[in-house]
Amino acid sequence: MNQATFIFKKQLAITFICSLLAITTITTPTPTKNIAPVFELPKFDALKKSKSLIIVIPAYNEGNRIEATLHAYFDYFNKQKKLTTTFLVVCNNCSDNTVNICKNIQKNHPELIYMDLKPGGKGFAVKQGFLKALDYRVDYIGFVDADLATTPPYFYELVTKINNHDGINANRYSNDSRIWPNRPFMKRIGGKFYDWILRHNFHLDVRDTQCGAKLFTYKTIKEIAPFMKETGWAFELELFYLCQLFEKDIIEIPTTWIDMPGSHLTISGCYKEFISAPTRIKKQQKYLATRLQNEKINQKRIAKEKEKLEKKNRKKSPKLFA
């Protein structure tokens, strides 16, 4: 099988799975009246050193729930010892009252910053949030979705477990994760299949690229954010690909995640974007990948020459005898 045939069959398989997902999304109603169960909170290790954090929250027409989300995060994170948290809401081409709500909340909460962007696109909003966050010398920069699918304790868990790693990702597909309500069979299989395709294309050691709860070190965001180009839903794939190019150490942990009604993401509306994402991202980042690879080769060459020179100098050095 030649490469062109393989690529065609792979894209065809993705199209088939995503089409099934689109049908499932349309025909499966999202529960709106059922009350989510109260999960027992895990015990988190206390932070040994004081840390600072900025949480970026992209918000597109979130006027109905941004206030509840912010107050939930304020109440929880302001109680955490040895942690200073700033919240950066990136209002993303909003046509509702999201901006005004953030403006009013900010009067009583100086830990809140907000941006009002017009171009739109979740990937664009997150990138601009990351770049803004770099103005503040914090230890960590992360982002969480505005729908409260990840409640504050489980984002805080990322802070407690990132340790010396460059980044940490919440993984809904772990056997130890708790998801409510149970996702439809086709959505679970389709999601896992798509993530397998992504890992196959990019050799990523990430099982849930699309979960909206991620945390990175300041240094990691400083290096990768300027190179983010995806403005839509596929930006998280690009984010992890950039981490791979810069050889960042990213880990995943199980999470607790509640599927909230009112999501702006529908498979039927964006599966074409996801299908083309691997090829598009590799093409967009080809120059960077080549540059970083050449730098790596050059560094190895310099290190080898230095080692060779040191070995040669040792041979020339006079031996001392007792």
Tell me the mean pLDDT in the region 283-304. Answer: 95
CA 246/CA 31 separation, integer angstroms: 41
How close are the terminal C-alpha atoms of the chain, in Å?
70
pLDDT at 226 over 90: yes
- Residue 83 counted as domain residue: yes
Q: The domain spanning residue 271 has which CATH number?
A: 3.90.550.10
pLDDT at res. 27: 37
Spell out the alpha helix ranges (H) of the chain: 3-27, 66-77, 98-106, 122-133, 152-161, 185-202, 218-224, 235-245, 267-284, 286-316
pLDDT digits (tens, 9 = 90+) for 24-75: 443 344 444 566 677 778 788 889 999 999 999 999 999 999 999 999 999 9
If pLDDT is split at 50, 70 and 90, which confidence band does 200 have?
Answer: confident
Q: Which tokens go with 294?
A: 């050449």
pLDDT at res. 82: 95
pLDDT at res. 163: 94
- Residue 172 counted as domain residue: yes
pLDDT at res. 110: 96
- Residue 96 counted as domain residue: yes
Count how many residues are written for the chain.
322
Name the range with the highest mean pLDDT among 2-6, 19-23, 241-245. 241-245
pLDDT at res. 54: 98
Tell me the Ramachandran region of residue 247: left when phi exceeds 0, alpha when psi lies from -120 to 50, beta otherwise: left
- Residue 256 counted as domain residue: yes
Tell me the mean pLDDT in the region 230-242. Answer: 92
The CA-based angle 164-201-125, given to 5 degrees, is 60
pLDDT at res. 275: 78
pLDDT at res. 85: 98
pLDDT at 260 over 70: yes
Q: Which tokens go with 266?
A: 């529908």
pLDDT at res. 319: 60
Higher pLDDT: 270 or 219? It is: 219
pLDDT at res. 12: 54
pLDDT at res. 276: 83
pLDDT at res. 186: 61
Q: Give the DSSP letter of residue 78.
A: T
Name the range with the highest mean pLDDT among 5-19, 166-180, 200-214. 166-180
Higher pLDDT: 292 or 207? It is: 292
CA 58/CA 48 separation, integer angstroms: 30
If pLDDT is split at 50, 70 and 90, which confidence band does 310 have?
Answer: confident
Q: What is the mean pLDDT of the chain?
A: 85
pLDDT at res. 89: 98
pLDDT at res. 38: 74
Name the range with the highest mean pLDDT among 85-94, 189-198, 270-279, 313-322. 85-94
- Residue 319 counted as domain residue: no
- Residue 296 counted as domain residue: no
DSSP characters for 232-248?
Answer: STTHHHHHHHHHHHTT-
CA-based max dimension of the chain: 88
If pLDDT is split at 50, 70 and 90, which confidence band does 76 have?
Answer: very high
Domain tally, the chain: 1
If pLDDT is split at 50, 70 and 90, which confidence band does 217 have?
Answer: very high
Tell me the mean pLDDT in the region 289-295. Answer: 96
pLDDT digits (tens, 9 = 90+) for 106-150: 999 999 999 999 988 999 999 999 999 999 999 999 999 999 999
Q: Which domain holds residue 53?
A: 9-29+36-285
Least confident of 25-29, 92-96, 189-193, 302-306: 25-29
pLDDT at 283 over 80: yes
- Residue 258 counted as domain residue: yes
- Residue 272 counted as domain residue: yes
